[in-house]
């Protein structure tokens, strides 16, 4: 605790200027202080406070919640670290929670690995850990174990985060990309492309200004509410990189079916549409960080939609298409204009067109 008292004598301005140095990753006192003062303090939970090399769980508690363990990991390298509607910490927590949630799991525990670039302001790290804690609390998830490494300037871009997550899947839930059946309907929980558009704008090289915010949010409560009214949801995935086009292609290919979308029913904000029009981008491929696509048996659609719309993260939910037999493994879009086209997997990155 002596480190705390010594730090409290540093005037606030100087404290703001403190930066991460290689010493913070050396395994010595500086690292110990960083972990205790920033990380353990922010994440604040009993499992982490023990400072053992691993978190430990009672199996009995886990078994009481369901019959399968869900386990996932994801790394976060977003640039810039802070953007309208969120930051890398918010993403790192909700992204992994969402990967658990869309498997039908109740998310419980997260790990957190930081890779910090030498020179990162300590205050930045504090802001990010605070944001992580806030988001974890919202979904009643604990960050129970972690790791911190510091690399030379230039060896990483400011800060990278890896989170892994554990959740429990209740009995009777069987969500899989292979289960889409002709007759099922395709549901989404709101506007597409907000995150991708917000990041494009936040990078600042477009000289565009708008009010678009990332949709970065936890989908855990939403999924639970959906499963409460329809335990037999066939497919569920969050549409992150590659947008809704990519996820729907995955469903169509895994299930050997065709998914038919109606362009007019797909929720798209005016601002995002405007940005896509200017840059020649297709919103179906823009990234989201708080949107899920669900394939639901037709007879449950009304109940699921009602449950979704009751929650803020599902307020703008819509039925955007249906599953049909043929052409197999394809996603088709009925355009507002009256034509029909294929929505393919994206090749490479979406690049703005020349003219």
Partner 1 sequence: MKYVDEFRDPEQAQKLLENISVLAKQVQAGKDRPIHIMEVCGGHTHTIFRYGIKQMLPQEIELVHGPGCPVCVLPMGRVDDCVALAEHPEVILTTFGDAMRVPGSQKSLLQAKAEGADVRMVYSPTDALSIARKHPEKEVVFFALGFETTMPSTALTVLQAEDEGIKNFSLFCNHITIIPTIKAILDSPDLQLDGFLGPGHVSMIIGQHPYLFIADQYKRPLVIAGFEPLDILQSIWMILNQMKEKRHEIENQYGRVVQNEGNHNALKAIEKVFELREHFEWRGLGSIEHSGVRVREGYARYDAERKFSIPNLKIADPKSCQCGEVLKGTLKPKECKVFGTTCTPETPLGALMVSTEGACAAYYSYGRMDSFESKKEATT
Instruction: Examine residue 231 and tell whether it contacts partner 1 (CB under 8 A).
Output: no
Q: Which member of 46, 249, 330, 331 binds partner 1 (CB under 8 A)? A: 330
Pick the closer one to partner 1 by CB: 46 or 338.
Answer: 338
Segments in the chain forming alpha helices (H): 2-7, 12-17, 29-34, 41-43, 46-49, 59-63, 88-101, 122-138, 194-202, 220-229, 243-255, 270-279, 301-309
Name the nearest CA neighbour of 110 among 43, 49, 51, 53. 43
Q: What is the three-state SS of 71-105?
A: EEEEEECCCCCEECCEEHHHHHHHHHHHHHHCCCC
Instruction: Examine residue 339 and tell whether it contacts partner 1 (CB under 8 A).
Output: yes
Instruction: Examine residue 347 and tell whether it contacts partner 1 (CB under 8 A).
Output: yes
Instruction: Examine residue 241 and tell whether it contacts partner 1 (CB under 8 A).
Output: no
- State the minimum distance, in angstroms, from the CB of residue 175 to partner 1: 29
Name the nearest CA neighbour of 72 among 114, 39, 113, 103. 103
Instruction: Examine residue 79 and tell whether it contacts partner 1 (CB under 8 A).
Output: no
Instruction: Examine residue 204 and tell whether it contacts partner 1 (CB under 8 A).
Output: no
Pick the closer one to partner 1 by CB: 86 or 193.
Answer: 193
Segment lying near partner 1 (by CB under 8 A), choices 93-101, 141-149, 229-237, 337-345: 337-345
Segment lying near partner 1 (by CB under 8 A), choices 85-93, 134-142, 226-234, 329-337: 329-337
Segment lying near partner 1 (by CB under 8 A), choices 34-42, 74-82, 246-254, 333-341: 333-341
Pick the closer one to partner 1 by CB: 219 or 245.
Answer: 245
Alpha-carbon distances, residue 91 vs 86, 135, 158, 160, 261 (angstroms): 7, 9, 16, 11, 28
CB 21 within 8 A of CB 118: yes
Pick the closer one to partner 1 by CB: 14 or 207.
Answer: 207
Q: What is the total count of residues that contact partner 1 (CB under 8 A)? A: 28
Instruction: Examine residue 344 and tell whether it contacts partner 1 (CB under 8 A).
Output: yes
Given phi > 0 = left and psi -120 to 50 = alpha, else beta, which region is 158? left
Sheet holding 159-169, edge to edge: 68-76, 159-169, 106-117, 142-151
Collect all residues with Cβ–Cβ distance below 8 Å to 47 and sequence separation of at least 6: 55, 56, 109, 142, 144, 145
Site for partner 1 in 253-292 (CB under 8 A): 270, 273-274, 277, 279
d(CA 68, CA 58): 15
Alpha-carbon distances, residue 303 vs 127, 192, 227, 298, 318 (angstroms): 40, 22, 10, 10, 13
Instruction: Examine residue 155 and tell whether it contacts partner 1 (CB under 8 A).
Output: no
- State the minimum distance, in angstroms, from the CB of residue 258 to partner 1: 9
- State the minimum distance, in angstroms, from the CB of residue 280 to partner 1: 8
CB 98 within 8 A of CB 234: no
Q: Which member of 58, 205, 209, 211 binds partner 1 (CB under 8 A)? A: 205
Q: Which member of 1, 12, 51, 337 binds partner 1 (CB under 8 A)? A: 337
Instruction: Examine residue 348 and tell whether it contacts partner 1 (CB under 8 A).
Output: yes
Instruction: Examine residue 351 and tell whether it contacts partner 1 (CB under 8 A).
Output: yes
Instruction: Examine residue 326 and tell whether it contacts partner 1 (CB under 8 A).
Output: yes
Q: Which two tokens stand for residue 336?
A: 């507002």
- State the minimum distance, in angstroms, from the CB of residue 193 to partner 1: 15
Q: How many degrees, rounded to 5, is the angle at CA 243 between CA 194 and CA 316?
A: 50
Pick the closer one to partner 1 by CB: 41 or 334.
Answer: 334
* Contacts with partner 1, residue ranges (CB under 8 A): 205-207, 270, 273-274, 277, 279, 326-327, 330, 332, 335-342, 344, 347-348, 351-355
């Amino acid at each position: 605790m002596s480190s705390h008292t010594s730090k409290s004598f540093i005037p606030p301005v100087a404290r703001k200027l403190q930066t991460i140095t290689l010493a913070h990753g050396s395994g010595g006192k500086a690292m110990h202080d960083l972990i205790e003062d920033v990380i353990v303090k922010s994440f604040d939970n009993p499992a982490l406070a023990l400072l053992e090399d691993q978190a430990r769980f009672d199996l009995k508690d886990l078994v009481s919640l369901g019959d399968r363990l869900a386990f996932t990991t994801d790394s976060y390298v977003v640039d810039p670290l802070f953007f309208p509607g969120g930051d890398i910490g918010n993403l790192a927590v909700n992204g992994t929670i969402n990967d658990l949630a869309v498997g039908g799991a109740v998310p419980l525990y997260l790990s957190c690995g930081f890779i910090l670039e030498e020179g990162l302001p300590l205050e930045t790290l504090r802001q990010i850990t605070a944001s992580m804690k806030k988001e974890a609390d919202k979904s009643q998830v604990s960050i129970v174990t972690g790791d911190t490494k510091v690399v030379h300037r230039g060896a990483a871009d400011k800060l990278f985060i890896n989170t892994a997550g554990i959740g429990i899947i209740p009995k009777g839930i069987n969500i899989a990309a292979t289960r889409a059946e002709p007759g099922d309907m395709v549901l989404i929980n709101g506007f597409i492309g907000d995150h991708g558009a917000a990041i494009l704008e936040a990078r600042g090289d477009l000289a565009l200004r708008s009010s678009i915010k990332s949709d970065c949010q936890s989908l855990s409560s939403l999924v639970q509410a959906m499963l409460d009214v329809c335990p037999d949801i066939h497919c569920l995935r969050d549409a992150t990189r590659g947008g809704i086009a990519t996820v729907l292609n995955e469903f169509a290919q895994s299930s050997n079916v065709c998914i038919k979308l109606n362009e007019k029913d797909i929720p798209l904000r005016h601002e995002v549409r405007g940005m896509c029009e200017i840059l020649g981008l297709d919103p179906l491929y823009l990234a989201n960080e708080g949107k899920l696509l669900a394939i639901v048996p037709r007879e449950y659609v009304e109940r699921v939609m009602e449950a979704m719309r009751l929650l803020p993260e599902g307020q703008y939910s819509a039925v955007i298409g249906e599953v049909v037999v043929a052409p197999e493994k394809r996603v088709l879009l009925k355009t507002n204009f009256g034509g029909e086209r294929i929505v393919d997997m994206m090749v490479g990155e979406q690049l703005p067109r020349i003219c």
